[in-house]
Chains A and B, each alone.
Chain A
Amino acid sequence: GENVEQHPSTLSVQEGDSAVIKCTYSDSASNYFPWYKQELGKGPQLIIDIRSNVGEKKDQRIAVTLNKTAKHFSLHITETQPEDSAVYFCAASIRSGGYQKVTFGIGTKLQVIP
């Protein structure tokens, strides 16, 4: 089955700096790559996603890049703010019959230091 590796597991940055989280996947058939943010005491929430026919996608201060050849994708957060502090999960999804199977990475705990 699909295997998703995510690193680093923890990341501390100064407010205003950029943060980058990297993930790799194993199955070249994966076609959808969502990123989720989990704040303390809450469930994960989708923040951005990218499909396999796109190389980069931006939404204000966050961007995701996808390299299908190398089978890796990354989340970039610019001008970090304290409210960006959370656990971030990457995921890779494969269509299997009539549904999409999603495999998550282990998560990255981001701390933004004011």
Chain B
Amino acid sequence: DVKVTQSSRYLVKRTGEKVFLECVQDMDHENMFWYRQDPGLGLRLIYFSYDVKMKEKGDIPEGYSVSREKKERFSLILESASTNQTSMYLCASSLPLLGRDGQFFGPGTRLTVL
């Protein structure tokens, strides 16, 4: 059973804290993605990576950075958390060019910044 796992289901942080969200996939996928999901806005792409140590900005990269040191792991970093970063964060992985099966998503991390 293929899996994308995220380090936390729920996270509460304070304004100004540095926040790490971790994602691990066991499918040997080249591509990994970070989205945020907000009511009425759907899923918006923050960053993606198509190979180890490679990263590309998505539609809303401001305030975020990413790290991909190993193929199976993709981390999202909030350098200084702000209240407007309260959201559901979804990680996904896929084969190159989405392969035959599209993107596989993790269960999400609901982040609250106080």
Contacts and interface: CB of A to CB of B under 8 A. Distances in A.
Contacts of A103: 45
Number of chain A interface residues as a range:
20 to 34
B106 interface: yes
A10 B45 CA distance: 23
B42 A46 contact: no
Is chain A's interface secondary structure helix, strand, loop, or mixed overall?
strand
Given A49-B102, A99-B48, A100-B97, A42 B42 contact: no
Number of chain B interface residues as a range:
20 to 34
Nearest to B88: A43
A1 B43 contact: no
A106 B44 CA distance: 9
Contacts of A32: 98
A27 to B, nearest CB: 14
Interface of B: 4, 31, 35, 40-45, 48, 50, 56, 59, 90, 92, 96-98, 101-108
Interface of A: 1, 4, 6, 9, 32, 34, 36, 41-46, 49, 89, 93, 95, 98-107
